[in-house]
Structure 1
């Protein structure tokens, strides 16, 4: 059997995917136990029990000052910001990407502008966003939009622009105008690509969100991580990082399943 042609069964593939995570967790426990054997007060690699105890207070006990359950308040605040930013970016990518990909004159006019915006590091724009929009929610959401929308627009526009020219010619022959070509030919084939671009944007979007929350926020997952770092509270930081990773995985899985259910034809050749 050659590895390049081997296709693991679903159950075996799941086991293969979980195995590296188990190995990583076991390696961490061994390393943490070794450090605590030398120094019981070590904070760099907390034991699982210490992390569970620290998180229990954030998850199940209200904060004495605000009365909020901090873990859930942080999660909801971050998810709202992330959802708003990705929602605006996705809508922008759909509209602008359709126009750029379908209409060559518009692509020639606005394509360089989109490219120029896409190559600017979004983090470098963060001070400008805070100056323009203030320290509220708008600047945080705007950073996510600026960070991921140009990439998504270019990806969708490039995919539409690469569609077979014969499809456009046939649509025009059958009486469609530019608007009809955009809605009947380009839009259906752009939707799976849009979801794929959104999936690929999840990682950068989380980076921009955490960066914005670390600088100017009073609630959020990124805010909490940077707040407790001054106390070397790794028993809080590590679970928060794992929680962020878990949320990102769930989002990625949900988008994949949605794409397969709604646009099964686009995944006909996938295993």
Structure 2
């Protein structure tokens, strides 16, 4: 008898099983929404799919009466700009510190304990400090994203550098390579796909910190819009915005996976 742990679903089953949880959640929502709307057609908690689609289309295609701007696209561009800048800075810091602490013993003894302690500080607890020190503008929002995910990327890159075979480093030194040449020609090509993987795993946290900062102090952004309309219980806008954020995060994850697969094909082959 073939054991369950040795059974692998074929392509059609993989697709069906992957869609199953989404279908179940959608069915549960539709049934709950229909039940509530049957009792009270004006119930705001679980709006119909059609109502949410109309609201989403309105903010996406019709200009705001007060500002003349398309609300969805203004919020999306503002949030993506903050997220992209914060994640980019965190990647650069994580790569530099991770490589140095993983390769150079003096840097490891100096910065590794500090990074470990830094990673234990809840980033949202630091948010008021950032707003006080940096103001409520864009700098504080970007700084929260950097503070939230940079320590994770640093530690992940450091671990990858420490996992490099010692024989490669010895051979490079035997051939006369300097520390700088070892970093550029040996270490960086090995850790770049790991950097993209670590960034992909940290994107969820980055979105969390972005939404939290926008909810407290912003004049546009996806998080700002959600917390602005929550006082009116406007679930017709909140739920589509949450779905839109989820779609953007999913597309970012797919893009990073694709970059790793195309630029570093050896990385996936080695892992598998």
Q: TM-score, normalised to structure 2's length?
A: 0.96
CA distance in 2, matches of 1:9, 1:165: 41
Q: Which residue of 1 aligns with 2:192?
A: 191
CA distance in 2, matches of 1:229, 1:158: 42
Q: Which residue of 1 aligns with 2:221?
A: 220
Gaps of 5+ in 2: none
CA distance in 2, matches of 1:228, 1:196: 35
Q: Aligned residues, how many?
A: 271
Q: Which residue of 2 aligns with 1:85?
A: 86
Question: 1:163-221 CA deviation, whole Å, 9 max, x = no partner?
Answer: 12111111111111211221222111111110110011000000000000000001000
CA distance in 1, matches of 2:90, 2:10: 37
Query: Over aligned residue pairs, what C-alpha RMSD do you find?
Result: 1.4
1:270 positional shift: 5.6
CA distance in 2, matches of 1:2, 1:80: 49
CA distance in 1, matches of 2:8, 2:250: 23
Q: Which residue of 1 aligns with 2:233?
A: 232
CA distance in 1, matches of 2:170, 2:236: 61
Q: Which residue of 1 aligns with 2:147?
A: 146
Gaps of 5+ in 1: none
1:40 positional shift: 1.4
1:6 positional shift: 3.4
User: Runs (4+) of structure 1 moved beyond 4 Å?
Assistant: none
Within a 5 Å distance, the mapping from 1:157-172 to structure 2 comes to 157-172=158-173
Q: TM-score, normalised to structure 1's length?
A: 0.96
Question: 1:33-58 CA deviation, whole Å, 9 max, x = no partner?
Answer: 01111121111111111112222221
Q: Which residue of 2 aligns with 1:133?
A: 134
1:143 positional shift: 0.4
